[in-house]
Amino acid sequence: MSGTATLVLLETTTSNLRSASLPAISAARKLAQVNGGPVVGVVIGSGIAAAAQDAARYVDKVLCCDNAALAAALAETWAPVLVAAIKKIDAAALVASATSAGKDILPRTAGLMGAGMASEIVAVIGAKAFRRPTYAGNALTDVEVLTPVVVATVRQTEFPPAAPAASAGTVEALPPGPIDALGSEFVALHASKSARPDLTEAKVVVSGGRGLKDAQNFKVLEELTDLLGGALGASRAACDAGMVPNDLQVGQTGKVVAPELYFAVGISGAIQHLAGMKSSKVIVAINKDPEAPIFQVADYGLCATWESTVPPLIAQIKTVKAAG
């Protein structure tokens, strides 16, 4: 049998908790209400003492596994640490945000433990029951995990970012045990640099699709994006055509976003794209084809070319902003 603690994997830089983990803390708190035990964070990496202190502001306790050989987030080395953490605190559950690291490492941890896992949960129904989207978001599926320990990743857009707790938790060292990367080696991260907010956290997202035709034309969308302080997104077709980097892709296999305001410009609205933006609060579609499926989910649809609408849109918004 397992205990009552809820363990949450917290991703960090060397000095800070990453904001991407805040929704997982919210989900862990929900789960802790039914489990009845504490929320325990686990941080893994190299030279992360400061980050562990930062993370402790949000949880009852932080387990800190700090080792030079754990600097890169390799599932081969991190999953056994998570297993050790689960055992140490006799956890009932392990959760993490569904980031690329969470999606890589948590299923391996579940596999090592023989624990059942629910992916990208959008709601906690009970200690072992969760709601999650399936079929590219065309169904919501309730699942029950049948094993003593429950593993889940959390869809970031569906849980609010957690605020710090009333009092900070303690930090405790977690010995890593034997570390074996099985020959896997991190070589480099080719990060696409952008001064804009993170796609998954931005209040406004402006996305362009194949209708933009080429990379040059994204300039006008960037202008709209920056005017609104938003993040730039894209459809798969636009990424595949090399108009923008791949990590801007919104959709079933790209990023899931749920901003206050989403612009889909020159995007047809394939279900795989809708899967990544349907939860946006207000959706605006600009498309020259009146039959484009994007209009079925758009709150405001403008049937016209982007060439004839985006430049005046920018001018008009500037006027409105200037008027306050």
Ligand X SMILES: Cc1cc2nc3c(=O)[nH]c(=O)nc-3n(C[C@H](O)[C@H](O)[C@H](O)COP(=O)(O)OP(=O)(O)OC[C@H]3O[C@@H](n4cnc5c(N)ncnc54)[C@H](O)[C@@H]3O)c2cc1C
- Name which of residues 20 to 39 contact ligand X (CB under 6 A): none
Q: Which stretch binds ligand X (CB under 6 A): 99-107, 143-151, 179-187, 282-290?
A: 282-290
Q: Are 48 and 66 in contact (CB under 8 A)?
A: yes
Of 4, 16, 147, 272, the one binding ligand X (CB under 6 A) is 272
Choose the one of another protein, ligand X, none that binds residue 287, judging by a C-beta under 5 to 8 angstroms depending on kind.
Answer: ligand X
CA gap 157, 147 in Å, rounded = 27
Instruction: Decide: is 13 part of the binding site for another protein (CB under 8 A).
Output: no
Instruction: Decide: is 96 part of the binding site for another protein (CB under 8 A).
Output: no
The 3-state DSSP class for residue 14 equals coil
Which DSSP letter does residue 220 get?
Answer: H
Of 142, 289, 316, 318, the one binding ligand X (CB under 6 A) is 289
On the 0-12 / 13-18 / 19+ scale of CB atoms within 10 A, 319 is: exposed
Choose the one of ligand X, another protein, none that binds residue 237, judging by a C-beta under 5 to 8 angstroms depending on kind.
Answer: ligand X
- Shortest distance, position 154 Cβ to another protein, whole Å: 14
Q: Return the bridge partners of 77, or none.
A: none
Helix axes 306-323, 218-227, angle to 10 degrees: 20
Q: Which stretch binds another protein (CB under 8 A): 47-55, 168-176, 209-217, 309-317?
A: 309-317
Which DSSP letter does residue 243 get?
Answer: S
Of 16, 34, 71, 76, the one binding another protein (CB under 8 A) is 76
Instruction: Decide: is 134 part of the binding site for another protein (CB under 8 A).
Output: yes
Q: Which stretch binds another protein (CB under 8 A): 21-29, 39-47, 55-63, 116-124?
A: 116-124
User: Nearest-CA neighbor of 165 among 54, 42, 67, 86?
Assistant: 54
User: What x-and-dash track marks residues 135-174 binding another protein by CB under 8 A?
Assistant: xxxxxxxxxxxxx---------------------------
On the 0-12 / 13-18 / 19+ scale of CB atoms within 10 A, 119 is: buried
How distant, in Å, are the alpha carbons of 22, 47, 72, 277 from that of 234? Answer: 25, 36, 29, 11
Of 60, 66, 120, 158, the one binding another protein (CB under 8 A) is 120
- Give, as ranges, the residues between 211 and 230 that touch ligand X (CB under 6 A): 211
DSSP run (H or E) holding 227: helix 218-227
- Give, as ranges, the residues between 198 and 257 that touch another protein (CB under 8 A): 200, 204, 228, 236, 240, 245-247, 252-253, 255
Q: Given CA atoms 102, 8, 3, 125 in this order, what sign does their dihedral have? A: negative
Of 17, 266, 283, 302, the one binding ligand X (CB under 6 A) is 266
Please give the angle made by the CA atoms of 297, 298 and 301, to the nearest 5 degrees: 140
The 3-state DSSP class for residue 244 equals coil
* Residues at the site binding ligand X, with contacts judged by CB under 6 A: 209-211, 235-238, 249-254, 266-268, 270, 272-273, 276, 286-289, 292, 305-307
